[in-house]
Every structure is written in C-alpha cells, then in structure tokens.
Amino acid sequence: MTRKIIIDTDPGQDDAVALLLALASPEDFDILGIVAVAGNVGLAQNARNALKVVELSGRTDVPVYAGCERPIRRPLVTAEHVHGPTGLDGPDLPEPTMKLQDQHGVDFIVDTLRKEDSGTVTLCTLGPLTNVAMALIKAPDIAPRIREIVMMAGAYFEVGNITPAAEFNVYVDPEAADIVLSAGIPVTIIPLDVTHGVLSFQHRLDAFAGLGNKSGKAVSEMLAFSERFDLEKYGGEGAPLHDPCVIAWLLKPDLFEGRNINVSIETTSELTRGMTVADYWRVTDRPRNALYLRSADDEGFYALLRERLARLP
C-alpha cells in the first residue's frame, strides 16, 4: 500500500539523495509535502535546494514549504564546511522555477495531520527536529494522529560527528529532539551507527554516474563533493551516506537491524550538548520509546538506490 509521508529536510547533499529516492517511488509513497528547516545551511537556501531537487526529479506535483529559520532556544549552527556555501555544492543545478507554498511549514504539518485519517501519516525527518517539535507545541492533539516518525538522528557506538558527543541533527536543536522523543509517538531512529556502515565508495559513485540520467549524474557529483570532508576526517575509501537510510528503511526494512530501547537527549551540559543517550543494552528501567537501528546491508542499500534513481530523468 502507498504510505502517506511528509519529509522534513535541510538539503544538504545526502538529504537531496533521500528526496530523490522518495520521489522516485510513487508506488510506495504519497508525498503530501516537503518542509524545509534550518540546519545544514540557513532556511532560505535549504528551501531553495528542496525546490531544485524536486525539479530535478520531474515531480513538480509535490509541494514544498519553508518552516523554522532557527532552533527553539539556541543560535543556529550550520555545516557549510561539509556541504559548501549553497548546502548543495557539487552539481550545477538550475535555479528553480517552482515556488514555495505560502503556508508556513509548521502550519502545513499541523493542518495535514488533522485533515488526514488518524494514524496514516508518517513523518520522515532528515534534519534538526525544530519543525516537528514546534508543531507538537502548537498542536499537542496531533501527536496521537502520527503513524510514526522515522528520523536520521543521533549516535551511540559512533558517538558524534559535530562534537565528540553529538550528531549534527540533534546538536543543532537538542530541545526539539527531546520534545519529539518525549511525545509518546512511535519513533524509528537511524543513527550514525547505521550510516557509517553504508559508505559511498568510488565504484558506487561511478555506478550512479553511469545510470545515464541527470539525476544519477547529479547524485554522483553531490556525493563526490560532500564526502571529501568525511574522507579527510575518518580516513578510508568511502564516506557515510546518512539521510537516504530513512527512505530506504521505509522501502525495505529487512535491510536494517536494531532493537527497541530508551533514547534520551542531553540538553543541559555544554560538554555533551545534544548527546543521544541510547540505552542499547537496556541497563536502565527507562521506558522503551524508540526502535533504534544499528546496522544495514550496505550492498542491498546501494542496489535499491541505483534501481530507484534509474527511474528519474
């Protein structure tokens, strides 16, 4: 059955690949809307990037909204050092002709969850959780109406990628992450522990470029640009590919393994701000509030990406 989804994102090269994977799968997803959030770069540029990616896919029927321009309580931290000043450096994508929707992205999330049948809409979050948290603050009644939230967020075994203790999406707005994980909504977390196991080796980038379409070429160029930072930081021959794992899990959950645990967010310590405190070994009696994934079949993951991206222009 087709799953109704809202994608909340801060594109970002890996976000762009995740969007393309979802947009290439109309038999699996009814994408009700894409909502931009401040994160990898500022909100205006992230929203522009989302429009560019939608146009690249040919799916201009999917509306794009702009959400929150800063975290709930903290100054915005961005990642141009990874993604470039545009957030989507690498390919030369044309300026979008599509326009953003007039409605604020948070209001779109609230109105959509109230309009659609309860328990039918999945939220896919690829960036900081500001928009979703603000929707829950503004309209607490939507919480039980959400089918589930699938998020790229956090880390346990891999610890942090923006500080020694924290993953970027959580670090940018830890209060938002805390609100979302405390709301009693079914949550699946795809952390660095998974994404650091699905590496974009050169032969995989070459395979995308060899698909013979604009989307495959753009993906290869995007990842060739963004991976340079992780290759220098971690060494090795391939960089992690984060956000597409959210969409891949919804398409083929059997590619992933994990367990139900308690996950809490550190919001008070400046030393460990944004740390994902994952009770993976269940050593506390805190209630289990998330399906926390730990590993993925990387060959199956990249095969799925190639198969779906080949469908696009």
Which are the catalytic amino acids? 242
Cα-Cα-Cα-Cα torsion 64, 70, 73, 77, nearest 10 degrees, comes to 120
- The answer to whether the CB of 142 falls within 8 A of the CB of 174 is no
Cα–Cα distance measured from residue 298 to residue 153, given in angstroms and rounded to the nearest whole number: 19
Q: What type of residue is 306?
A: R
CA 210 from centroid of its chain's CA atoms: 25
Residue 240, strand partner residues: 199
Cα–Cα distance measured from residue 123 to residue 103, given in angstroms and rounded to the nearest whole number: 18
Closest CA to 71 of 46, 42, 44, 34: 42
Tokens standing for residue 197: 């196991």
Closest CA to 123 of 262, 22, 191: 22
Closest CA to 3 of 28, 20, 26: 28
- The answer to whether the CB of 192 falls within 8 A of the CB of 149 is no
Q: What type of residue is 37?
A: V
Q: What type of residue is 3?
A: R
Closest CA to 44 of 36, 52, 35: 36
